[in-house]
Amino acid sequence: MENPTRRKFLTVTGAAAALALAGTLPGLTASGATSVDTDRVPGYPFKLGIASGDPLPDAVVIWTRLAPKPLDPFGGMNDRPVSVRWEVAEDERFRRIVRSGDAIARREASHSVHVDVRGLRPWREYFYRFRVGGHSSSVGRTRTSPAAHQSVAAVSLAYASCQAWYEGFYTAYRDMAAHDHDVIFHLGDYIYEYGVGADGGLRKQDMAVEFTRETTTLDDYRGRYALYKTDPDLQAAHASAPWIITIDDHQVRQLITR
């Protein structure tokens, strides 16, 4: 079961870079926002998919990043903040919406949003989606964790690690997505900082020059995460269940070597 102390630590550390740039947590509230776009997005914005994770008995975090051109700087977005509608429901057709609201996707967070959805019921399946103007994301499936001392008959889980994008395809994630697990654990090395070959390694995909060099800057890391998240099977696995993620050396190498 998730420890609230760990959840607080992950929230704070994950937002540290955005805090340094923006002075506020990205995507939590529209208060103070200026010139917020609600429909002027240059193309379908959910090309990097959606995700949920870090489940508690009464809460789960949902995520997306607006990126109509995922491999371009800032995902092809301009510098204006964008209002993103989010909804959480008890059914896949959203007839019983239990939580909803608006988050602000800002450039300093590369137009990503993390919504900590509270007030949910323990060990329950939920569905979520995002909307921007006339665009809707795919529907994600998530689940809260059991309450303290709650007995559950069984837990279905999967785990993964060390997913070098250029070393092959993510067919294992396609299988994970098909099983509707209660939770998926990622044990580290979600990305690798090494340069990707000009032909995308085993993927045989032409790569822009910025992906052929080692990641050293924040923009480099954003681009590398975007590259990995363009994979449709990885997106499907993220949308199928909440993830709990451990950070390993390749995610923090730049911090260690400074």
Which pLDDT score is estimated for 249?
A: 84
Q: Residue 17's pLDDT band (boundaries 50, 70, 90)?
A: very low
Q: Report the distance separating Cα 144 and Cα 122, nearest Å.
A: 5
The tokens describing 219, both together, are: 């923009």
Least confident segment among 98-102, 110-114, 251-255: 251-255
pLDDT over 50 at 22, yes or no: no
Q: Which residues, in sequence order, are bridge partners of residue 113? A: 64
Secondary structure of the chain as H, E, C letters: CCCHHHHHHHHHHHCHHHHHHHCCCCCCCCCCCCCCECCCCCCCCCCCCEEEEEEECCEEEEEEECCCCCCCHHHHCCCCCEEEEEEEECCCCCCCEEEEEEEEECHHHCCEEEEEECCCCCCCEEEEEEEECCEECCCEEEECCCCCCCCCCCCCEEEECCCCHHHCCCHHHHHHHHCCCCEEEECCCCCCCCCCCCCCHHHCCCCCHHHCCCCCCHHHHHHHHHHHHCCHHHHHHHHHCCEEECCCHHHHHHHHHC
185 closest CA partner among 117, 248, 113, 92: 248
pLDDT digits (tens, 9 = 90+) for 202-216: 999 999 999 999 998
Q: Which residues is 60 bridged to in the sheet?
A: 117
Cβ atoms of 66 and 45 within 8 Å: the answer is yes
pLDDT (tens digit per residue) in 226-257: 999 999 999 999 999 999 999 888 877 655 54
CA angle 249, 250, 256 (to 5 degrees): 60
The residue whose two tokens read 């559950």 is 152
Distance separating alpha carbons of residues 228 and 167, to the nearest angstrom? 12
d(CA 51, CA 140): 7
Contact between 102 and 14 (Cβ < 8 Å) = no
User: Can you tell me the mean pLDDT for 79-96?
Assistant: 97
- Contact by Cβ (8 Å): 228, 173: no
What confidence category does residue 38 fall into, taking pLDDT thresholds of 50, 70 and 90? low
Q: Give CA–CA dist 101/113, Å, rounded.
A: 12
